[in-house]
Chains A and B, each alone.
Chain A
Amino acid sequence: MRWACILLTRLALDGVQRGRDDADAPLVLVSGHVPRRLIRAVNAQARALGLRPGMSLTAAQTLVTDFAVAEYDEQQISHWQHFLAAWAYRYSSHVSLDYPHALLLEVESSLGLFGPWPRFEQRLREDLTGLGFQHRIVLAPNPAAARALTNVHDGLAVMDSLALREHIQRLPIQRSGLDAQSVATLSRMGLKQLGQILRLPRDTLARRFPAEVLAHLDRLLGVLPVALGSYQPADEFVARIEFNFEVDSHQALLFPIRRLLLDLQAFLAGRDCSVQRFELTLEHRDHEPTCLPIGLLSAERDAQQLFEVTRSRLEQLQLPEPVLAVRLRASDLPAFTPKPVSLLEERPPPVQPWDQLRERLRARLGDEAIHGLVAVADHRPECAWRRDTEGAGMPPAQLGKRPGWLLAEPEPLNELVPEILAGPERIESGWWDGADRRRDYYVVRTRDGRLAWVWQAVDGQGPWMLHGWFA
C-alpha cells in the first residue's frame, strides 16, 4: 500500500476566499463571541499589513482599518474537507478524512491508471490549484508517516521502508505529531529528532511515556498498522455561498454561481455521474427564498455548459429583494455517459441507447407507460391484442379487413343510416369463457368521409356501435 497525504494548509481561508471575487484584498477569519473576537487565520495580504493569528479583532482594527472579516466556521471547514474528498474519490477508492485538514489517499492501486507517481502528483496539484486550495503532498508507505512527513516536506515521495526510516529519523520531534506534553518532556531531555528517540531502549520509553508515544512511533515506521475510515461519497450535492453584503444584481451573482457549478463538476467527476436537473436557491433577508429549478434536456457535467444554461435562466428572473446567500442542490444524479466518438462510422451512434431512454421514460411516466403490442389469435377484437413488455405476433392467416385504430370501448355511432361498404362479418365467439360476443361487423363510411368499423347485434336490433377506424 502506498498512501498520499494531501495537507490542506489553509483550508478555512481558501474555503472562504473562493466564494469571493476579490482575491487580492486582505482577509482575516475570526472566531469567538463579540467582546473577544480572535483572529484565527489571515491571508498573505493581511499578513503584510501586520495582522497575525491570535490577535484580537479590536487590536487588529486599531492597527489597520481596511480589511475584510469573515467567520471561522468549523462546519464550513468540514464541508470543504468533504468536498475535496468527493473530488479525490475520482483518483482513489480509499479516501480517508480521519486526519483533520488533510486527505489520505491510497494510491498504489491507482498508479496503473494515473501513474507514474510524478505525473499523478502533478495532476493532483493542478486540480487543487484549479479549485483554489493550497496544499502539501507527500507519498509514504503508511498513512501515519505520510501525514507526519507533510508537516515538514512537500513533494516528497518515500518508496520503501528503508528510506522511510531515514526520513522518520530526521523528523523534528515538535512536528512529528506526538502529543504536546510528550514533546515538551522529550525536548527537555535534549532530544530534537525522532532518530534520537528511536535509539533509546524501548522498555525505558515504555516506562517513562504513555503507551501512545510508542504506538505512534510504531505507526510511523509501519510496524503497527493503521486502520483508516473510508470516505463514502454523498448521494447529493449541496453547496451554499453566503455573502457578507447584499447582492442586488444578476451580474454579481454570476461569479459565485460559476464557483458552485465548478464544484458541482468536480463532485460529479468524482462520482462519475452527471446532472440533469438541479435547484438554485437565492436567500433573501425578509422575502421567501427564490427557487430556480434548472432542468436540462440531457444529462451533463460540463461546468461551462451548466453555467450557460443557468445564466440564461437567471437573466429572466426578477429578484424580489437583494440576495444574501445562494445555494445549489442537485439530488438526481444519473450515471455519466460520455458522447462516443467514432472514427469510421458515418451515422453517429445514438446519443442515448434505447435501454437508457426507456428507463428515463419509465422513471417519469410510470412503469406501465412503456409497452409493446402483442397480437393474439382470437376473433373477438377485444381479445385479439394485449399489452406486453415486448411486442410480438405473427400475421393472422385468415382474417377479414381489420381497422388500424381500435376504440377502447365501443361507442354508439352518431349517425342514423351509415353507408355500408362491406359486411356483415359475423363474429360469434367466447361462449366458453364468459366473454360471449355475437356481433355483425360492417365497414361503413361516415358523413365526414372516414371509414369506420361498426357492429350491430346479430338480431339486427339495437344501435350501431363504433369500434374502430380504418385510418
Chain B
Amino acid sequence: MSAVVSLDALLQQRRVWKGGADIAAAPAQPTGHAQLDAVLPGGGWPEAALSELLLAHPGSGELQLLWPTLARLTRARERVVLVAPPFIPFAPAWLQAGVDLRWLVLVQASEKEALWAAEQCLRSGSCAAVLCWPQRINDRGLRRLQLAAATGESLGFACRSLREADNPSPAALRLALDAWPRQVRVLKSRGAMPAARPLALG
C-alpha cells in the first residue's frame, strides 16, 4: 500500500527538510540585517509566526536588531504595538532609528494581562508587528501567541530570558542575542538548519 505523494507537495508542507539553501520564497519581511537575512529561510522574519529573542538582560541589543524592521513597517503605515515594554521607549532615539511614531502604539498592562493583550493584538490582524516581554510563560502560552500570529498574519516578537534557551518552544524562529560582542545566534529556524556560527550585529 503505497500512496503516491508528490515530492513538491511534500516539500511545500515543509515536512521534509531539504539540504542546501535554495528556498526560493520572496524576502517579504527582511530583518534589515543582510547577514541575518542570508541565513534565515525565506530571507527574513518568518511571516505570520512568532519569533523569540532570548536576552541575558533586557537592553542587550534587541532594539538594534528590531529597529530596521519596525522602521520599515511604520513607514509603510503599518501599526506596531509594544505590549508592556520593560523600559520607556525613548522617543528621540526611536525617531533617530527611523521609526514613524504615528504608527507606534504602547499598551501598558500587568504581566497577566499583557499576554492577553498581545494575543488579542496578534489575532486581530490589524497590527503588523507585536512586541511583548513575557516573563513567566509556559509552552501553552507561547503556542497561543504563535497561533494568534498565524491567525492574524502578524509578526510576533517575544523577548525572553536567555535561560529559556534550553526549553523547547513552538516559536518559528529563536534568536539568542549576546550583549558583547553584539552578535546573534540562531537557535532554531523553522524550515532550515540553524546557522552554526554567530552573526555580528551592526
Contacts and interface: CB of A to CB of B under 8 A. Distances in A.
Interface string B50-92: 0000001111111110010000000000010000011111111
User: In the complex, which range does the number of interface residues on chain A fall in?
Assistant: 35 or more
A471 interface: yes
A365 B117 contact: yes
A449 B109 contact: no
B110 to A, nearest CB: 8
Q: Which of B94, B96, B120, B124 has the most CB of A within 10 A?
A: B124
18 contacts: A350-B125, A353-B126, A354-B126, A364-B117, A369-B108, A370-B107, A391-B103, A404-B89, A405-B90, A406-B89, A406-B90, A448-B56, A449-B60, A450-B59, A451-B179, A470-B59, A471-B58, A471-B61
A350 to B, nearest CB: 4
Interface residues of B, number: 51
B101 interface: yes
A388 to B, nearest CB: 10
Interface of A: 297-298, 347-354, 356-357, 360-361, 364-365, 368-376, 381, 384-385, 387, 390-396, 399, 402-408, 445, 448-452, 468-471
B91 A393 contact: yes
A372 B104 contact: yes
Contact of B102 (A376, A391, A468): A391
Contacts of B125: 348-352
Interface string B110-126: 00010011011101111
A405 B95 contact: no
Contacts, number: 166
B35 interface: no
Contacts of A392: 101-102
Nearest to A388: B101
A351 B124 contact: yes
Given A372-B102, A399-B92, A449-B60, 18 more contacts: A350-B124, A350-B126, A351-B151, A352-B124, A353-B126, A354-B127, A357-B124, A374-B101, A375-B95, A384-B90, A385-B92, A396-B95, A405-B58, A406-B87, A448-B57, A448-B179, A450-B59, A469-B58
A94 B146 CA distance: 47
Nearest to B85: A405
A339 to B, nearest CB: 11
A471 B109 contact: no
B96 A399 contact: yes
